[in-house]
Amino acid sequence: MRFLPTLFLILLCFPAAAQRSTGGTGGVPSTELFHRAQKNLTRTIVHDIFSPPVASRVYVYANVAAYEVLVRNHKQYKSLYGQIPGVPDLARIPTPGQINYPLAALYALFQTGGKMVFSEPLLQDSAAVILQEMHETDPAVYQNSLRFGQAVSDSILRWAAQDHYPETRRRRRYTYSKAPGKWVPTPPGYFDAVEPYWNQIRPMVMDSAQQFKPAPPPAFSTNKESEFMKQAYEVYDRTRQMPPEHTLIASYWDCNPFYLNTQGHLNFATKKLSPGGHWMSIAGQAAATANLDWPATAGAYLLTSIALFDGFISCWDEKYRSQLIRPETVINTYIDEKWRPLLQTPPFPEYTSGHSVISTASATVLADYFGKDFTFIDNTEVEYGLPERRFTSFRQACDEAAISRLYGGIHYRAAIEEGQIQGEKVGQLVLDKIRLRP
């Protein structure tokens, strides 16, 4: 007999806890539970300190699983089968009787995400609470839904296992170039390069990691009249006397999963969500503001996660091709050895700006989904001590996220501007390749 997952057994043993309401199989639960599930997935990713590219991988497969469950019950939506190479034909999975599809979708999301994080028990604890709040009063339907969600998750996980991620875990440590102008680790942690082989991961919609190779960055030069040094001096000059609003913007979009605090000989980390986690949060807030139903909400999360996933692959491909030196190293070496950036420099090469790429890719798909002039209030950073911010469009938000890297002192202007061009191409490709409705 096949071994049933721990969470599956917990939920089957306590079905009475799900019978406090009259929702039953005939009612449709609030999508608020879907949003809570996404937030709990993000909290687990934050807890496990996944890098931004790895976090995007967790998001995309978990949301593919949830979406594919829901489209089985909504014929006005299309499966990803035939749209993304390799996606399994989940229509072949038989339904074991009557299904509560939102319940099955949440279970598929939790089971898929759970297998991709380190702290699976942490995610299972929150999953048990949320799934019981679905208020499914028929025990047979409850069990059928979990079984179906598990079957979809198993199929998606088998597909995910073939994306070359395991192979990148076994690659040799990255060897730094000693050529002038190439990236080297930066203070205070001097961490090793993050995900130098991420361009080997299988994309969702791009034909290869090189599909949107950006124009090369300005050539490294120590000549003050060179374009490179002009951009270095721009970072230096802008960050020395910034208005409070620019400081707030830099902090708001920091999204550093692992900020290293140093106090004398004491070092400790502060955890935050990744840039991708911030945009998944924006997608959820937009869906809630628009009062979307379950499949439409799943579609918003899905398209955003695909844009993030391919955006990171495209960006990381360029980062380790150009291997460009960070502003902190250049300014400390050639301009002012005492200067420090407002934000902590991330441990990977400078060009292009990851936040610029993935923010613009996400904004591109969300603007198409909700409208170019969709107004929303973003409260993502409130739990990290920062105020809400109001945006009149997704483009305004992504432009602010991009320029925040200059304000923070961690990117030159070329990386920001070329990163946005790169991200828009990724986002537009997602829209060209994926059709959620026939």
Mean pLDDT by 10 residues, the chain (438 residues): 44 40 53 97 96 98 98 95 96 94 97 97 92 91 97 98 97 93 96 97 98 98 98 97 97 91 75 95 98 98 98 98 98 98 97 98 98 97 96 98 98 98 98 95
On whether the CB atoms of residues 341 and 327 are closer than 8 A, the answer is yes
Confidence at residue 27, expressed as pLDDT on a 0 to 100 scale: 60
Residue type at 411? H
Spatial CB neighbours of 66, under 8 Å, sequence gap ≥ 6? 34, 105, 106, 108, 109, 112, 298, 301, 302
Residue pair 191/347 in contact (Cβ under 8 Å)? The answer is yes
Every domain of the chain and the residues it spans: 6-163, 176-433
Q: What stretches of 136-179 show up as alpha helix (H) in DSSP?
A: 139-160, 165-169
| Choices 1.10.606.20, 2.40.30.110, 1.10.3720.10, 3.30.910.20: CATH for 176-433 | 1.10.606.20
Residue 376 neighbours by CB under 8 Å, 6+ apart: 282, 285, 286, 289, 390, 391
Looking at residue 220, the DSSP 8-state letter turns out to be: P
The whole-number pLDDT of residue 26 equals 45
Which residue carries 């030196």 as its tokens? 325
pTM listed for this prediction:
0.93
Q: Is 349 helix (H, G, I), strand (E, B) or coil?
A: coil
Q: Please, are residues 114 and 123 in contact by the beta-carbon 8 Å criterion?
A: yes
Quote the CA–CA distance of 393 and 397 in Å, as a whole number.
Answer: 7
The fold adopted by the segment(s) 6-163 is: Vanadium-containing Chloroperoxidase; domain 2 (1.10.606)
Dist CA 275 CA 258 (whole Å): 12
Q: Write down the pLDDT at residue 13.
A: 44
Q: List Cα–Cα distances, 53 to 314, 324, 342, 352, in angstroms.
A: 11, 19, 23, 14
pLDDT of the residue at 29: 87
DSSP one-letter code for 41? H
Residue-level pLDDT at 266: 73
